[in-house]
Amino acid sequence: MKVTGNSNINRVRSTTSVRRTSASSSASEADSVRDIQDTVQIAAIPPEEMTPRVQQAIMSLMHEVEKLRGELEATNRRLREMEDVADTDAMLPIPNRRAFIRELNRMISFAQRYGTPSTLMFIDLNDMKHINDTYGHAAGDKALFHVARTVSENVRDTDVVGRLGGDEFGVILAQADETVGAQKAETLAKMISETPLLIDDQSIGLKLAYGVYTFRSGDEPQDAIERADQAMYENKRSLKGEDNIR
Positions marked catalytic: 167
From CA 204, how far away is CA 197, in angstroms rounded? 5
CA atoms within 13 A on the CB side of 52: 1
From CA 148, how far away is CA 89, in angstroms rounded? 11
Please give the order of strands across the beta sheet that includes 208-214: 160-165, 168-173, 119-125, 208-214
Q: Which amino acid is at 39?
A: T
Residue 207 host element (H or E):
none
From CA 224, how far away is CA 214, in angstroms rounded? 8
Buried b (16+ CB within 10 A) or exposed e, 91-104: ebebbbbebbbebb
Helices (H), the chain: 7-43, 52-87, 97-114, 128-135, 137-153, 178-193, 221-240
Say if residue 62 is exposed, middle or buried (CB neighbours under 10 Å; 0-12, 13-18, 19+).
middle
Within its chain, how far is the Cα of 188 from the centroid? Answer: 24
What DSSP designation does 220 have?
-
